[in-house]
Amino acid sequence: MKLDVDVLRYLSKDDFRVLTAVEMGMRNHEIVPSELVHRIASLKHGGTYKVLKNLLRYKLLHHDSSKYDGFRLTYLGYDFLAIKTLVNRGVFTAVGRQLGVGKESDIFEVAREDGTVLAMKLHRLGRTSFRAVKSKRDYLRHRNSYNWLYLSRLAALKEFAFMKALEDHGFPVPNAVDCNRHCVIMSLVQGYPLVQVNQLQNPDSVFETIIGLVVRLAEHGLIHCDFNEFNIMIDDDEKVTMIDFPQMVSVSHQNAQMYFDRDVECIFKFFRKRFHLNFQETTDGDDGSDIDTDEGSRLSFASISKTAGFLDKELAASGFTRKDQDVIQKFIGGSIEESGSDDEGSDDGNESETNETNVDGLDSLHLAEQDVIHKNPDLNSKKEGVSEENQQNSEAGQGSEHDRHNASDKMTMRL
């Protein structure tokens, strides 16, 4: 389903109030009953049902009457809630062109009031091309239900936390600006994905820098797990920037060595094939230490000193808790094994792409209730009624810079 921000022009406060009511109801419901939406939104004179009809027309909600009459958020509705919140915070004022599409996210340009261009990443776990991992990996274990909106929010929260921590420790990553729901706002990297680069002035130096980053991450207690030519940006001065962090794991992970070896192999394989390097030499890491890159003695995970820091442990205090880490790892941790073989997902508008269901034993959505209840105090008074009904119904992507010369293009819409 394509993001059409023009629709925002036609949405009223009541529309967002009802969208928020559905989001609140999805904490404990797979499909939120119509009566519960009406009670939470608390619009007068039957206004809720008129608004629901309008939201269905714009495909911000999905109506389900298979078991009972109810509604659930679509990704487009979730997008609008996140965008509205960030606009109200003053993070940006306009949304521009789409920069990229992936299996797990969409990337868009956004602009501040002063004209500064940023990147907006909307996580979209659950695309059709991504869902095959559910049947090939034991993410759900004993659970037979899940919620893609909840998992997308966790992925965004994790990426934001890791990006902030890596930036604070001097790693070449985009500047993390803000995060809300499944949306992450970051600085726009002035460069190109390495996969699009066919010639480098100093391929040996770039290779050394990239391998040094892999080692440096491990020394700080982290493994990227998807460190390849698609997630490395390089500018005209051959400066390297890392992107895409939701799948990062700790060096204490049970499969840490396998992930580390795979990251290293991806880099070796790409530079050997694209730039014809043979690696029969010793290179220097970012910290000045010698790194043996001989084909017969590839980088060893066990030989790396992991004493530079403990970012994997520090991040528990940055908003991404151990509970969040366990949940996201169970559901999407192994999806990185599919990244080399799966084609990029395409948002074909099929309803199956937004087929969210509840995670058993987990709160489905983390709501930014402070943004809503502070403006609508009467919503808070409905919580007790919601709790009673819950007891009865408790089972209920960075774009490339190949178009950067068109920087004069206008933003699609002023919000």
Q: Which structure tokens are listed for 289?
A: 């230490």
Which residue out of 79, 226, 244, 347 is catalytically annotated?
226
β-strands 249-250, 240-242: how paired? Answer: unpaired
If DSSP codes are grouped into helix, strand and coil, which group holds residue 109?
Answer: strand
Helix axes 75-89, 13-25, angle to 10 degrees: 120
CB 70 within 8 A of CB 29: yes
- 391, two tokens: 């007891």
The answer for residues whose C-beta is within 8 angstroms of residue 151's C-beta and 6 or more apart is 125, 126, 327, 328, 331, 332, 359
Judge whether 326 counts as a catalytic residue: no
State how far Cα 381 lies from the chain centre: 33
The backbone torsions φ and ψ at residue 339, rounded to the nearest 5 degrees and listed phi first, read: -65, -25
64 φ/ψ sector (left φ>0, alpha ψ -120 to 50, else beta): beta
Distance CA 1, CA 351 (A): 8
Q: How far is the C-alpha of 173 from the C-alpha of 234, rounded, in Å?
A: 11
The residue type found at 41 is A
Q: Within the chain, what is the greatest distance between any pair of CA atoms? A: 77
- With the C-alpha atoms ordered 260, 157, 235, 287, is the resulting torsion angle positive or negative? negative
List of residues 6+ apart from 252 with CB closer than 8 A: 221, 312
Cα dist from 329 to 246, 249, 326, 333, whole Å: 10, 8, 5, 4
CB 90 within 8 A of CB 386: no
Q: How far apart are CA 82 and CA 37, in angstroms?
A: 19
Q: Which of 241, 269, 246 is nearest to 158 (CA)?
A: 246
Catalytic positions, please? 226
